[in-house]
Amino acid sequence: MKLLLNPGRRFVIGVPYVWLLLFFVLPFLILLRISVTDMGNSVDPFAPLIDTSGDAWRLMLEFKNYISIFSDRVDGPTIYVEAYKTSLKYAALTTLLCLVIGYPFAYFLARCQPSIRPVLLMLVMLPFWTSFLLRIAAWKGILADQGVLNNLLLWLGVIREPMVMLYTDVSMLVGMTYVYLPFMILPLYANLVKMDMRLLEAAHDLGASGLRAFWLITVPLSKAGIIAGCMLVFIPAVGEFVIPSLLGGAENIMIGRVVWDEMFSSNNWPRASALSVVMIVVILVPLALYYRFKDAAGKSA
Amino acid sequence: MAGYLQTDALVKRFDGVAAVDNVSLTINKGEIFALLGSSGCGKSTLLRMLAGFEAPTSGRIMLAGSDIAAMPPYERPINMMFQSYALFPHLTVWDNIAFGLKRERMPKAQIAQRVDEMLDLVQLKEFAQRKPYQLSGGQQQRVALARSLAKKPQLLLLDEPLGALDKKLRERTQFELLNILESVGVTCVMVTHDQEEAMAMASRIAVMSRGRVLQVGTPKEIYEYPNCRFVADFIGTVNLWEGTLAVDAADRCEVKTANGLVSMGHGVSGSLDMACAVAIRPEKITISKIRPAVAVNLFTGTVKEIAYFGSYNTFIVEVPGGATVKILQANTSRYTSPVSACDITWNDAVFFWFDVTAPVVLTQ
Amino acid sequence: MMRWFEKNTARFWLGSVFLFLYIPLFFLIVFSFNSTRQDGVFTGFSLRWYDALLTDSRLVEGFWLSLKVALFSATLSVLLGCLAAFVLVRYKRFSGRTLFYGLVNAPLVMPEVIIGLSLLLLMVASQRMFGFPERGFITLVVGHTLLGMAYATAVIQSRLLEADRSIEEAAMDLGCRPIQVFFLVTLPAIVPALVSSWLLTFTLSFDDVVLSEFLSGPGATTLPQVIFSYARRGVNPSIYAAATLFIAVVSLGIIAYGAYTLRQQKKTAIP
């Protein structure tokens, strides 16, 4: 039965809906529109879409922003394509590292005594609640050539001269993995903790050893959690901006940084928009995967 | 005569399937009426329609003469006691009971008086300031009852009132609950799957199956005079013998069954040779190794199973033909006498018989 | 044998990961007391960086702005998130539900760069057409709320799903109209979720860099933006001091919150 009078219901649905349409959908439409304009000579990035100067109306769509993304140079792929590739590469590596480190962690956490689990969970969340910017800045200090880690290793005699870790792949991946690890652990944990332990007992009873039971039963049952967790890491990682700025070097230019530069350094708003649209297209498939598996991940195995 | 609460051809469909199928009931003022059936029979849906949480697909619900089917639950002069008690966890016992009264904008003094009255009724005066999580199951139930009676509703609905209690507590609570309800005098409709509960508490019972009401009557009527095989089988245990009508007279009839001829001391409306069943309750059958001096309804068989339940024995007797008959014998004496039933053991050949008043003919 | 192996692997793995998670925090705390600027060696105990922190006007102003923005955006996020969660849990059928569902959850996964850029474009377009809003406080609040709402909805939604529907029916049975049911019964039941989502969105807003970089205006620079610019340029231990204070506040907050939740769980447990 209709438990809410219609005006009340419309209000409850309407307010958030309007907010989202206004501040999420509308900006995206504007983004699309800007991406097909010509920056040209005018300062105004909002060059008209429809040209009314002639006799007939002409739709002025400029796709050159998109074209320039993909083929600007004769001698190889553009810096934009490189940036996309780099972003995807680091996002994928980060996801993999987070999975390899995070899955066992979530698994062991889920198997802990129920009494200490909340405490451990709180300990996992605590770093998350302190500024991530500050923690990345800390890594900068730790991994620097004259930083703590190098000094420690030198003092221990493990290495003879400082390892260059900052502004390399190493610092990038350390930073990315560090930041995104909780995003992988939490959905995995939520999924694993709901798993029925009796299934594993049944497997043991039927003769499967610990490791085999793990591979044959636990992992497939947590499939939804794995995929949701991976997407939760991968998708935002593609557009990551802060970590490459602080910990990355010249070879680690990621697309987030490129969009920023196009926007604020080159003032080329149309191209920045086009780059963003392409980024969205790139993450569409992972996004679909995420939506598909996020609810299943929350349910019991 | 119109009853206090009346449902008129009430139907509720979910996705085309009728959960409640054409139910017309008349419930009288002041009585305790039970809807009895196993899960899925529609009794809960019917109750929820009375409360207002489900809207009927068609039909009318008349309370004291006016149709309330379209009324939302907060406007109906009906209150419900939920199976899970549904006490407000953030409010004290006192506030829980006062909740409905505050919605009526009763003056404060009057609310206080009514709440105290209710607390006295369920004997929870000392617990007034506790929160639900600080109470035992039985105490929570009493709060739920007090809360549902606080507004002096015209109709009280009870959803499996004893379902959440364990057996010992259930028996005791049954009578306490009954006393309270009778002293208040409120008309009640209760839903239960437990036939003992229904029989003990209700003045009239409606047996339901698959959305339909099969029989309405007092506990005795339902038990002694079931109108169909389902009801006979659902209430208590019964022996059902299929057969055909052999003799049909004004004051007696005979049914020919696979086990023999069964005589009844009453007539039955029907035609000769029509298919019917005979229902005989186990406690109405007498069993012995010694042949009795009876003329009709005497049968023989072999004892296959015996179960001792303390106050009574159950015998499963196999008759020629392979069928089994269940017989119940109360243990009325401790010392065995030569002809008592306590002599009987497995594989004994026995006689069993019953009076002509015992069996009931069922045509459905 | 298997048990021992598993138990110790578990301990080792859990311990290592925890160590990994907490290394930067230890570093920040220790080096905030460092007497010199170096990052590699602890030269001595000093409170100079705390002193520098409090006298750095950029940091202090940034702090106050971030605080204001976070307060507003957290409150707004929880309000909107509450409505959205209600819609998702209670209203199973209405036209446009799938789109709604997609929109509410999207900011959770979308790269912030995209959200920031598109919102900025909207703000600029709006400013041209209506002369409003100025890039600054309002735009920051809108952007942070957009992100915060997604998180708040997720938290409140999961609590709403667990909520006992029968007490709402009981309330209606006793005479409550639906709106009264919400305020008298449903809301008290989800208070823990409201509190935790408020804290969560507050933290997210306070900590946000990317959206702020896109949406802030001249004179309106948030604390993370200031820290970001310092961090890019090199070592500046005043930010370590800021970090340590932050960690202290957050730890106290979490402990207090944990104690509060534990008490609440007992009180509002379904009997």
Ranges in chain B annotated CATH 3.40.50.300 = 5-231
| Nearest residue to A133 (alpha-carbon basis) of B186, C45, C175, C24 | C24
The whole-angstrom distance between B5's CA and the closest CA on chain A is 22
- C-chain CB neighbours of B99 within 8 Å are 171, 174
The pLDDT value recorded for residue A59 is 56
Q: Residue C141's closest chain A neighbor by CA?
A: A23
Is pLDDT above 90 for B338? Answer: no
Is pLDDT above 50 for B305? Answer: yes
Residues C226 and A121: beta-carbon distance below 8 Å: no
Strand, coil or helix: what is A58? strand
- Read off the pLDDT of residues A134-156 as tens digits, 9 standing for 90 and up: 888 888 888 888 788 888 888 88
Q: What is the mean pLDDT of residues B7-23?
A: 91
- A-chain CB neighbours of C6 within 8 Å are 210
Give chain C's largest Cα–Cα span: 73
How many CB atoms sit inside 10 A of residue C56's CB?
19
User: How does the average pLDDT of chain A come out, rounded?
Assistant: 80
Cα–Cα distance, B39 to B191 (Å, whole number): 11
Contact: C39, A148; criterion CB under 8 Å: yes
How far apart, in Å, do the first and last CA atoms of chain B sit?
28
Q: Residue C188's closest chain B neighbor by CA?
A: B90
In this complex, the residue of C174, C176, C267 whose CB is nearest that of residue B79 is: C174
How many CB atoms sit inside 10 A of residue C131's CB?
8
Cα B87 to the center of its chain, rounded Å: 27
The pLDDT value recorded for residue A108 is 86
Domain coordinates of chain A in residue numbers? 68-298
Q: What is the mean pLDDT of residues B97-114?
A: 92
The whole-angstrom distance between C63's CA and the closest CA on chain A is 13
The pLDDT value recorded for residue A75 is 55
How far apart, in Å, do the first and last CA atoms of chain C sit?
43
The pLDDT value recorded for residue A298 is 60
- B-chain CB neighbours of C174 within 8 Å are 74, 79, 99-100, 103, 147, 151
Cα–Cα distance, A128 to A134 (Å, whole number): 11
What are φ and ψ of residue C158, in 5° steps? Answer: -65, -35
Is pLDDT above 70 for C1? Answer: no
Percent of residues, chain C, with pLDDT higher than 90: 24
| Nearest residue to B353 (alpha-carbon basis) of B280, B278, B303 | B280
User: How does the average pLDDT of chain B come out, rounded?
Assistant: 89
Per-residue confidence band for A50, with pLDDT thresholds at 50, 70 and 90: low
Residues 6 or more apart whose Cβ sits within 8 Å of residue B256:
B243, B244, B245, B246
Give chain B's largest Cα–Cα span: 76
Residues 6 or more apart whose Cβ sits within 8 Å of residue C82:
C152, C156, C190, C194
Contact: C119, A27; criterion CB under 8 Å: yes
Ranges in chain B annotated CATH 2.40.50.140 = 237-362
The pLDDT value recorded for residue A299 is 56
Helix axis angle for C223-233 and C187-207, nearest 10°, is 30
Cα C172 to the center of its chain, rounded Å: 36
Is pLDDT above 90 for B105? Answer: no
Residues B36 and B65: beta-carbon distance below 8 Å: no
Cα–Cα distance, C84 to C121 (Å, whole number): 25
Residues 6 or more apart whose Cβ sits within 8 Å of residue B136:
none
The pLDDT value recorded for residue C269 is 55
B-C Cβ pairs (cutoff 8 Å, strict)? 76
State whether the Cα torsion A56-A57-A61-A62 is positive or negative.
Answer: positive
Cα–Cα distance, A231 to B35 (Å, whole number): 52
| Nearest residue to A4 (alpha-carbon basis) of C192, C92, B152 | C92
Cα–Cα distance, C136 to C141 (Å, whole number): 9
Residue type, B166: D
Is pLDDT above 70 for A300? Answer: no
**CA distances (Å), B153 to each of B30, B178, B184, in order?**
12, 17, 11
Contact: A24, C178; criterion CB under 8 Å: no
Kindly report whether the peptide bond that precedes residue B219 is cis, defined as omega within 30 degrees of 0: no
- Read off the pLDDT of residues C119-152 as tens digits, 9 standing for 90 and up: 988 888 888 888 777 778 889 999 999 999 999 9
Q: What is the mean pLDDT of residues B289-303?
A: 89
Residue type, C75: T
The pLDDT value recorded for residue A2 is 45
| Nearest residue to C139 (alpha-carbon basis) of C125, C129, C152 | C125
Q: What is the mean pLDDT of residues B123-127?
A: 92
The pLDDT value recorded for residue C218 is 81
**CA distances (Å), A163 to each of A93, A158, A174, B330, C232, in order?**
22, 11, 15, 94, 21
Domain count, chain C: 1
Is pLDDT above 60 for C72? Answer: yes
- B-chain CB neighbours of A1 within 8 Å are 52-55, 72
The architecture of the domain spanning B5-231 is 3-Layer(aba) Sandwich (3.40)
- Read off the pLDDT of residues B43-57 as tens digits, 9 standing for 90 and up: 999 999 999 999 999
Assess C166–A contact: CB distance below 8 Å, yes or no: no
Per-residue confidence band for A1, with pLDDT thresholds at 50, 70 and 90: very low
Is pLDDT above 50 for A206? Answer: yes
Residue C31 lies in a domain: no
> Concatenated DSSP letters for A111-177?
TS-TTTHHHHHHHHHHHHHS-HHHHHHHHHHHHSTTSHHHHHHHHHTS-SS----TTSHHHHHHHHH
Is pLDDT above 90 for A222? Answer: no
Strand duo B204-209 + B32-36: pairing: parallel
- Read off the pLDDT of residues A174-187 as tens digits, 9 standing for 90 and up: 899 999 998 898 88
When mean pLDDT is compared across B27-36, B72-81, B266-275, B295-304, the lowest value belongs to: B266-275
Per-residue confidence band for A47, with pLDDT thresholds at 50, 70 and 90: low
Strand duo B239-248 + B187-192: pairing: unpaired
Count helices and strands in chain B by DSSP H and E runs:
8, 20
- C-chain CB neighbours of B74 within 8 Å are 172-177
Is pLDDT above 80 for A251? Answer: no
Assess B153–C contact: CB distance below 8 Å, yes or no: no
| Nearest residue to A281 (alpha-carbon basis) of A145, A84, A122 | A84
> Concatenated DSSP letters for A254-287?
-HHHHHHIIIIIS--HHHHHHHHHHHHHHHHHHH
The whole-angstrom distance between A137's CA and the closest CA on chain C is 6
CATH superfamily of A68-298: MetI-like (1.10.3720.10)
Q: What is the pTM of this model?
A: 0.80
User: For A67-73, which contacts have Cβ atoms below 8 Å and span 24 or more sequence positions?
Assistant: A68/A271, A69/A271, A69/A274, A69/A275, A69/A278
Is pLDDT above 50 for C268? Answer: yes
Pick C39 or A133 by higher pLDDT. A133
Contact: C175, B133; criterion CB under 8 Å: no
| Nearest residue to B270 (alpha-carbon basis) of B238, B244, B241 | B244
CATH code for position C151? 1.10.3720.10
Per-residue confidence band for B344, with pLDDT thresholds at 50, 70 and 90: confident
Range of the domain at C208: 49-267
The pLDDT value recorded for residue A301 is 40
Element (DSSP H or E) covering residue A71: none
Cα–Cα distance, C169 to C176 (Å, whole number): 9
The whole-angstrom distance between B82's CA and the closest CA on chain A is 19
In this complex, the residue of C103, C118, C207 whose CB is nearest that of residue A131 is: C207
Is pLDDT above 60 for A242? Answer: yes
The pLDDT value recorded for residue B151 is 93
Show which subunits contact B, needing at least 3 CB pairs below 8 angstroms. A, C
Assess C169–B contact: CB distance below 8 Å, yes or no: yes
Is pLDDT above 70 for B196? Answer: yes
The token pair at C160 is 């709403």
Is pLDDT above 60 for A74? Answer: no
The pLDDT value recorded for residue B118 is 94
Residues B12 and B56: beta-carbon distance below 8 Å: yes
Q: What is the mean pLDDT of residues C48-61?
A: 84
Residue C136 lies in a domain: yes
Q: What is the mean pLDDT of residues C212-219?
A: 86
Assess C260–A contact: CB distance below 8 Å, yes or no: no
Q: Return the CATH number of the domain spanning residue range B237-362.
A: 2.40.50.140
Percent of residues, chain A, with pLDDT higher than 70: 84
What are φ and ψ of residue C240, in 5° steps? Answer: -65, -40
Residue C1 lies in a domain: no
When mean pLDDT is compared across A30-39, A97-106, B102-111, C134-143, the lowest value belongs to: A30-39
- A-chain CB neighbours of B55 within 8 Å are 1
Highest mean pLDDT among A273-277, B189-193, B241-245, B353-357: B189-193
In this complex, the residue of A127, A142, A279 whose CB is nearest that of residue C114 is: A279
Cα–Cα distance, B156 to B189 (Å, whole number): 6
Residues C74 and C198: beta-carbon distance below 8 Å: yes
Residues C129 and C97: beta-carbon distance below 8 Å: no
Cα–Cα distance, C220 to C223 (Å, whole number): 10
